[in-house]
Amino acid sequence: MSELNIDGLGKRFGKVEVIPPLDLHVPNGSFTVLVGPSGCGKSTLLRMIAGLEDPDCGILELGGRDVTLAEPADRGIAMVFQSYALYPHMTVEKNIEFGLRLARVPASERKEKIAKAAEALQLEALLQRKPAALSGGQRQRVAIGRAIVRDPKLFLFDEPLSNLDAALRAQMRVELAELHKRLGTTMIYVTHDQVEAMTLADRIVVMNQGRIEQIGSPLELYEAPASLFVAEFIGAPKMNILGGKFAEELGAAKVGLRPEHLFVNGQSSEKWTAKVRLVERLGPETIVYARVEDVGDLIIRAESSLEIPGDSELSVSPDLSNVHCFDGHGSRIEKELS
């Protein structure tokens, strides 16, 4: 069992309360992603879980054991850092071996583990190289290799892909997802990239200003965001947030509409005339940025074959069955099913 229980864990730096006491449960074997904008406290939370930062209050239990103030090494965790944090003076092999040596694992077992990890991560040809002679993606693999040979109960990832280029990031995402599937170990992953969160996680924890806004599966967050913050943060392109008369008529302070829930030339009671400002032809779909008088700016996800008329005006209608309503505090209003 390697579930993680966090009870009232809080952290302040001087007078600034970075994380007000919060509770979080990470089930055994889950891939939990902490996501939020920079400065939301997600990295601090991860560092407290790792033991690199001492909390000011609260309890942290890993696999039923209180590890609140335990040394990082005594927690059974392994961490992958944003900068990879490889030992620059050691070869790839020594990097991976370091933790095992410290734990006094016998040489034969060390060799076996390194060979296994190197094979899984395609590092065999690189074992005698030093980190400076590796590409970013290769370094990241070494960092992961260093983590997996220790057979941790819990993997921690601190924005591990943000130093890679877009293509490599997409590839590493797949590799990480496969790794989780193969190992079945609990993983906690910090990122500010909601796409990474959506693609990797089975559970997403959305954080904002040190607080947890919502916890749920990617689709739960997408389909039923608990707050305006989550609504705007999850999904690309962003959800359209509209106020004014349209919201009032629906009994809300603000309403949210996903770009795919706006139909061009649709058949609906509500019909808007939208002035097109910008068109992005992405191939499989077309994203239209438009403005509607008295309603506001809209982002519309349309068919790739969409043609823009000469006067740049489109008839757009909202899918009223997919409107998200929020009250004045930004909390979700559950619609009664009619």
Give every CB contact of residue 119 below 8 A, 6+ residues apart in sequence: none
Can you tell me the distance from the alpha carbon of 162 to that of 159, in angstroms, rounded to the nearest whole number?
A: 6
Smallest gap, in angstroms, from Cβ of residue 73 to other proteins?
3
CB of 316 to other proteins, least distance (A): 48
Tokens of 57: 């209050």
H-only helix segments in 77-189: 92-102, 107-120, 136-148, 166-183
From the CB of 156, what's the least distance to other proteins, in Å? 8
Per CB under 8 A, the list member of 72, 237, 243, 330 interacting with other proteins is 72
Helix (H, G, I), strand (E, B) or coil at 298: strand
82 binds other proteins (CB under 8 A): yes
| Binding mask of the shown chain, residues 179 to 208, with x at each position contacting other proteins by CB under 8 A | ------------------------------
User: Which stretch of DSSP H or E encloses residue 50?
Assistant: helix 42-50
83 binds other proteins (CB under 8 A): yes
CB 257 within 8 A of CB 242: yes
DSSP label at residue 337: P
**How far is C-alpha 6 from the geometric centre of its chain's CA atoms?**
19
User: Which of 42, 110, 150, 180 lies at the binding interface for other proteins (CB under 8 A)?
Assistant: 150
- Residue found by looking up tokens 């209003």 in the block: 333
Interface with other proteins by CB under 8 A: which range of 8-16, 44-52, 116-124, 248-256? 44-52
Q: How far is the CB of 325 from other proteins (least distance, A)?
A: 44
Asked if 79 touches other proteins (CB under 8 A), the answer is yes
- Between β-strands 272-281 and 313-318, what pairing exists: parallel, antiparallel or unpaired? antiparallel
Tell me how far apart the alpha carbons of residues 2 and 31 are, in angstroms, rounded to a whole number. Answer: 12
102 makes contact with other proteins (CB under 8 A): yes
174 touches other proteins (CB under 8 A): no
Q: Which segment (30-38, 58-66, 81-89, 231-239) binds other proteins by CB under 8 A?
A: 81-89
Q: Which residues bind other proteins (CB under 8 A)?
A: 50-52, 71-73, 77-79, 81-83, 85-89, 98-99, 102-103, 130-132, 146, 150
